[in-house]
Structure 1
Amino acid sequence: MAGESSKAASPPLLDKPWREINWRQTALQDVNNYRPFVEGQQIRILLYGPLGGGRTSFIYSVQSTLRGRMCVSSLDDDIFGGCFIKGYTTYKVIKRSPETFHPFVLNDISQDRGVLMDDIKLVFKGHVKDGYKFNPESKLSAGDPFYNEAPTANDRVHVLVCVVPADKLPCMKAEVKKKIRDVRVEASRLGIPQVAVLTKVDMACPEVKKDLKNVYRSKYLKEKMEQFSADVGIPMNCIFPVKNYNEEINLNEDVDSLILSALKHIIDFGDNCINRRIHNV
């Protein structure tokens, strides 16, 4: 009979998580305790990726998690079809004590706004000043008020983070993947490590929506991460699934844990980049 020959559907979750992480407190302590090798040095983290990927929400979520309270975001958002023009901006992350900041900053660059590869290279090297609005028709040139003639070590990018929505991975266009690869290759040439953050994991998998702790037990998410890794060349151990804060009004330990796990590794990669440059290795 047909019923006898049919197989039971494979369970959506693995028996055990395929990756172990520190759930919140340990990772929070690691991030709070980070100090650069050189006094005054800061890690510059550059975010890029497709429109609607969650870069703005990721910055907002990092700020909220590290401050221990929901932060009201004044960041320009990916809304109205991308018609809100945003300049190149550095976002500092304040500590819980007033007037003190973590020794890392985040910058945002959107590949959907027609940013030229020549301008991305300038960003990597620290030649682009805050407030510059990228022109898809012409690159930033020396002599422009927004061109930084003499970038310092802090102006240069130390880690590149590709932010993409996990729920859109199955329908991601080939040209988007190619742009991600192209940007990654340019970063590699300059010795800049690359990381991917997959947002909206709760929207991608029902089991994760039920319980965020299932994120590393979901067979579906693991398969999509493996395919994305193969498509763009970012290794699996450099890809981190997260859920950004969006409609929540209170912090959630599981959300914090994934944000902190990703952030800790981003900081580690950036710190390694700084140390290599200092010691020329």
Structure 2
Amino acid sequence: MGAENSKSQPPILSQPWREINWHRDKQTDLQFVKNYKPQVKGQQLRILLHGPVGAGKSSFINSVQSVLQGRMYIQALADNISHDSFTKKYTTYKIQKESPNTFYPFVFNNIMGLGPNKGVLVDDVKLALKGHIKDGYLFNPVSQISEDHAFYKTFPELNDKVHVLVLVICADTLPLLTDKFVKELLEIRKAASDLGIPQVALLTKIDQACPEVKEDLKNVYKYEYIKKQMEKLSAEVGIPMNCIFPVKNYHEEIHVDNDTDALLLSSLRSIITCGDDYINFTKQQTSSDRYA
């Protein structure tokens, strides 16, 4: 599919439509992530990944860990065969820093993928946004979690709630999105927006969607095909272009790569920044209400 699409693409642009300094920006973004500390003491920034089955949510978590560890790292189990969601439980992933028993102040929550048959229910995603689902909950694709369930948290604390919602979706499957699926994405996006939660999108598998990008990842912002896929996603679900990031997850490599790292870190920095802005804004609103 990618090869067929790329044949109709214009010659490579002399200048990329989005600027990125592959070496300098990688180092700057890496330092930002390593130095990040929430302004609110004891705060843990919670990042919820959602999207269709097989989009690369687990692979993104592993890829981020690989970048920060400087080596291939696999914690979130991924599957390359099943057509159903490989992720069944609501799982929180912490990322360890260089020192033993120390972790970055942000966590990823992986959730069962959206799917036509055995995917996560939209209502469960909404409850996860509010912090009502406990870690380890086994999703039921035919029935949402009930309030009397052992894994339902009636009174979520601030750290239980989601601070940034990340849609993970494949570049080569965008043309195949059904109306039903888009409707579910819009419903989830509205629920997050009503809560004030910022949203970011990751366009994965760009190397599979565009052969020229597979040949050289630095071509990602020089070919119109990737840009058009991002524009399509933006038009379908309403996420602004500057909140959509093309990334390549690690899936066949045995060593980390500078260009892959650069794209991953660029997206991660924006995700953290969005979540941190939300935390700070929420704190300001709470303080204003207290002294009103």
TM-score with structure 1 setting the length: 0.92
How far residue 179 of structure 1 moved from its aligned partner, in angstroms, is 1.5
Q: Which residue of 2 aligns with 1:63?
A: 65
Distance 1:117 1:145 in 2: 20
How far residue 238 of structure 1 moved from its aligned partner, in angstroms, is 0.5
Residue 46 (structure 1) aligned with residue 48 (structure 2): yes
How far residue 79 of structure 1 moved from its aligned partner, in angstroms, is 4.1
Q: Which residue of 2 aligns with 1:220?
A: 225
Query: What one-letter code is carried by the residue in structure 2 that aligns with 1:21?
Result: I
Contact 1:66 1:96 in 2 (8 A): no
Q: Which runs of 4+ in 1 moved over 4 A?
A: none
Select the residue among 120, 125, 130 that pairs with 2:130.
125
In structure 2, stretches of 5+ residues that fail to align are: 1-7, 287-292
Q: Which residue of 1 aligns with 2:281?
A: 276
1:27-106 alignment, distance < 5 Å: 27-73=29-75, 75-77=77-79, 79-82=81-84, 84=86, 86-106=88-108
Q: 1:208 to 1:248 in 2, by over 3 A?
A: same
Contact 1:45 1:159 in 2 (8 A): yes
Contact 1:94 1:102 in 2 (8 A): yes
RMSD after superposition: 1.7
Q: Is the deviation greater in 34-43 or in 17-26?
A: 17-26
Select the residue among 151, 165, 172 that pairs with 2:170.
165
Contact 1:159 1:193 in 2 (8 A): yes
SS in 1 for 2:90: coil
Q: Is the deviation greater in 97-106 or in 138-147?
A: 138-147
SS in 2 for 1:213: helix
SS in 2 for 1:19: coil
Distance 2:10 2:72 in 1: 36
Q: 1:166 to 1:187 in 2, by over 3 A?
A: same
Q: 1:212 to 1:230 in 2, by over 3 A?
A: same
Report percent identity of matched pairs. Answer: 58
Distance 1:91 1:85 in 2: 13
Distance 1:249 1:188 in 2: 39
Q: 1:46 to 1:83 in 2, by over 3 A?
A: closer
Contact 1:92 1:104 in 2 (8 A): yes
Q: Is the deviation greater in 27-36 or in 9-18?
A: 9-18
In structure 1, stretches of 5+ residues that fail to align are: 1-8
Q: Which residue of 2 aligns with 1:209?
A: 214
Q: 1:47 to 1:74 in 2, by over 3 A?
A: closer
Residue 242 (structure 1) aligned with residue 247 (structure 2): yes
Select the residue among 157, 173, 176 that pairs with 1:152.
157
Contact 2:61 2:76 in 1 (8 A): no
SS in 1 for 2:160: coil
Q: Which residue of 2 aligns with 1:17?
A: 16
Distance 1:140 1:274 in 2: 27
Distance 1:239 1:178 in 2: 19
Q: Is the deviation greater in 175-184 or in 77-86?
A: 77-86
SS in 2 for 1:38: coil
Distance 2:80 2:277 in 1: 31
Give the total of aligned pairs.
273
Distance 2:274 2:196 in 1: 11
Contact 2:201 2:245 in 1 (8 A): yes
Distance 1:83 1:269 in 2: 27
Residue 233 (structure 1) aligned with residue 238 (structure 2): yes
How far residue 261 of structure 1 moved from its aligned partner, in angstroms, is 0.2
How far residue 224 of structure 1 moved from its aligned partner, in angstroms, is 1.4
Contact 1:12 1:220 in 2 (8 A): no
